[in-house]
Amino acid sequence: MRENPEAIKSVCILGGGTAGWMAASALAHKLQGLPVSVTLIESEEIGTVGVGEATLPHIRSFNAALNIDEVTFMKATEATFKLGIEFCNWGRIGDRYIHPFGDYGTPIDGIPFYQYWLRLKQMGEAGRLDTYAYPIAIAEANRFRHPASDPAQIESTFGYAYQFDAGRYAAFLRRFAEGHGVIRHEGKVVDCQLNPDNGHVAALKLDNGAVIAADLFVDCSGFRGLLIEQALKTGYDDWSQWLPCNRAVAVPTESRGGLTPFTRATALEAGWQWRIPLQHRTGNGHVYCSSFISDEAAHARLLGNLDAPTLADPRQLYFTTGRRRQFWNRNVVAIGLAAGFLEPLESTSIHLIQEGITELLQIFPDKHFRQSDIDEYNRRMGVNFERVRDFLLLHYVATQRDDTEMWRYFRNMTLPDSLEEKIQAWLTRGHLIRYEFGVFLPPSWVAVMLGQNLIPRHYDPRVDRLSSDEVRRAGDALKQRVSAAATATPDHGAYIRKMGAASDTVPLLAKGA
């Protein structure tokens, strides 16, 4: 193997939460066999936020790239399958819909099925849009199977993700990373030494006296951004004007009832509440805006809404939505909460970690730290963050609610132009302004907009090429296919047990369902 004197020889990751161990695992795996050391500094005294317990389907490709066996991973992380997110009370109080990982039906003549559904709706003959989507049908019935490989089967028309214990995922990845040569240092950083010539981070001094030097630092230190902000003063773009929720309280409860293969997000008076069912417990939390509700009231609201006894005391979190002005500054790349924070309404926290890691691996630097590499990384991650922001904001503004101060705040908000145009094109004719780069593709936008009662005034006129009878028949046939396939799909919990992914600690085994 050729030795490149400019090659990075050492990478130091600061922080051992989800982001830290994901980064460590990916770097160790990708750089395996190369003369690069990967170290990770974490302190057991500093708790981790355990960002996100619900994920997006992309997490599967992250695990697959590491050759992680699904069954082993699910057992170790108390994971359940996730087919989408159920949103309650978002459009109006009493509404509910599921944003699935999949499409509604299949296109006809190259036109998405939802356009035909809009026509059926105008004809007064449309069923719930959800009844035309296989992943929603099985999610509502607490069923699951892996997608079929034959694209002709309706059972192939979805993706899936996981709901898992983020702390256990970090621990699982720690074993993986250490098994792949990552050196873990226990300790708290007490000093960050900068290179006086170029302002790069040169070394970190720990409270035990150890000094860790590295060529490249990955800041996974969480909200504080110990390197990217405290050392390098990178700056933060505050997006509170659009996403004003700034606090959360989280509490786990016992796992009760059917094992739902979806996460739930219920809109409340001053924020929203999550419910994430894992094998061994259910994660719950209340994301809220402190301008509209006190901490005490927010806690009470959460505790009053739980459907099972709590397993621990509530934990309080504080944050400011936004992004670091530069995700990569000098020789520091911020990943996870150090890079920015967007509320976990669409389970994007872990996804944005994954994107940060993927882009870093693609644009892995050498000791020159060329500005062109840094700029390109920052450009790509900026697009990712901004598009997620717009999609999250859509949930708050695609609503008829005005029952509290918070909902009225959103009603009076001036939207980013990109989102405003998107909503107008949709309302006029069900047209989706598409992009290529960004996590949420058209079916996701359709799900939220229709789910929150943004019903276009018109449908694509090309749909009229089919007669009313033909559209009706196509709709009925699809609904029947979905229904028949859903009935034949196994129970979610039973499926996990059968594939051997039930954890040993779990009440799932005893549930029998």
Partner 1 sequence: MTTANLHVVVCGGGLAGQMTAAALGAYACPTLTISWLSEGKDPDTDLFYGHLAPPDAYRFNLACRVAEPDLILHSQTALSFGTHYRHWGAQGLDWVQAFHQPLPVLEGVPFHHYLTQQGQGALEPYLVSALAARRGVFAHPPEDRNHPLSRAEYGYHFEAADYGRRFERAALSAGVRRIEAAIAAVEAADGHIRAVHLSDGQSLTADVWIDASGPHAALLSRLVPETLGHRRLTARQVRSDAPPAGGGVTVVTGMPEGWQAQTPLRAALLTLTVSEADSATPADASARTATLTVGQRRAAWAGNCVGIGQAACVAEPLTPAPMILLQRDIERLLALLPVTADLSVERREFNRQAEVDYAHAGLFMRALFTAAPLDGSAYWQAATAEPEDARLRLKIEQFESRGLPVAFDLEPFSREDWLILHYGMGRRPARYDRTADRADPARVEAYLAAQRRDIDGVARALPPHHQYLDGLTGYLRQQQGQTA
DSSP annotation of 464 reads G
State which residue, 343 or 390, has the beta carbon closest to partner 1.
390
Among 127, 235, 258, 461, binds partner 1 (CB under 8 A): 461
509 lines the binding site for partner 1 (CB under 8 A): no
Pattern of binders to partner 1 over 72-111, x per CB under 8 A? Answer: --------------------------------------x-
Q: Which is nearer to partner 1, 109 or 402 (CB)?
A: 109
Binding mask 362-401 for partner 1 (x = CB under 8 A): xxx-x---x-xx--x-------------------------
Q: Closest approach of Cβ 186 to partner 1, in Å? A: 29
Residue of 82, 121, 422, 498 marked active site: 82
Q: Which stretch binds partner 1 (CB under 8 A): 14-22, 135-143, 360-368, 485-493?
A: 360-368
CA distances from 485 to 127, 134, 160, 491 (A): 18, 8, 17, 13
Active site residue 479: no
Please tell me the distance from the alpha carbon of residue 85 to that of residue 263, in angstroms, as a whole number. 5
Q: How far is the CB of 376 from partner 1 (least distance, A)?
A: 6
Q: For residue 23, which phi and psi values (nearest 5 degrees)? A: -65, -45
Residue choice 460, 483, 499, 511 for contact with partner 1 (CB under 8 A) = 460
Nearest approach in angstroms of CB 147 to partner 1 is 20
- Beta-bridged to residue 100, according to DSSP, are 84
Q: At what angle do helices 417-429 and 371-397 cross, to 10 degrees?
A: 50
Among residues 5, 414, 437, 512, the one that binds partner 1 under rule CB under 8 A: 437
Distance of CA 154 to the CA centre of its chain: 25
DSSP label at residue 308: S
Give the separation between CA 117 and CA 123, rounded to whole angstroms. Answer: 10
CB atoms within 10 A of CB 470: 12
Considering only residues 33 to 62 of the shown chain, the ones binding partner 1 according to CB under 8 A are 33-34
What would the x/- binding string for partner 1 be over residues 134 to 153, using CB under 8 A?
A: --------------------
What stretches of 166-231 show up as alpha helix (H) in DSSP? 166-179
Under rule CB under 8 A, residue 425 binds partner 1: yes
* Cβ neighbours of 312 (radius 10 Å): 10
Residue whose C-alpha is closest to residue 410's, from 233, 250, 244, 277: 244
Report the residue from 146, 195, 233, 435 that binds partner 1 according to the rule CB under 8 A.
435
How far is residue 354's CA from residue 170's CA, in Å, rounded to a whole number? 13
Cβ-based nearer residue to partner 1, 274 or 364:
364
> Looking at 121, 205, 256, 458, which residue binds partner 1 (CB under 8 A)?
458
Identity of the amino acid at 168:
R
Segment 173 to 232, residues that bind partner 1, using CB under 8 A = none
Q: Using the rule CB under 8 A, is 32 a contact of partner 1? A: yes
| Tokens matching residue 196 | 């006086």
Does 434 bind partner 1 (CB under 8 A)? Our answer is: yes
Alpha-carbon span 93 to 269, nearest angstrom: 10
Token pair in block for residue 433: 């302004």
Q: For partner 1, how many residues bind (rule: CB under 8 A)? A: 38
Please name which of 422, 274, 399 lies closest in space to residue 343, comparing C-alpha atoms. 274
> What tokens appear for 17 in the block?
């939460």
Contact between 331 and 217 under an 8 Å Cβ cutoff? The reply is yes
- Residue 124 binds partner 1 (CB under 8 A): no
In angstroms, give the least distance from the CB of 425 to partner 1.
5
Tokens representing 257 are 């009832």
The span of 31-39, 194-202, 340-348, 486-494 binding partner 1 (CB under 8 A) equals: 31-39
**36, 10 in Cβ contact below 8 A?**
yes
The residues that are catalytic are 82
The site for partner 1 (CB under 8 A) is made up of: 1-2, 4, 7, 30-34, 65, 110, 362-364, 366, 370, 372-373, 376, 421, 424-425, 428-429, 431, 433-437, 457-462, 464-465
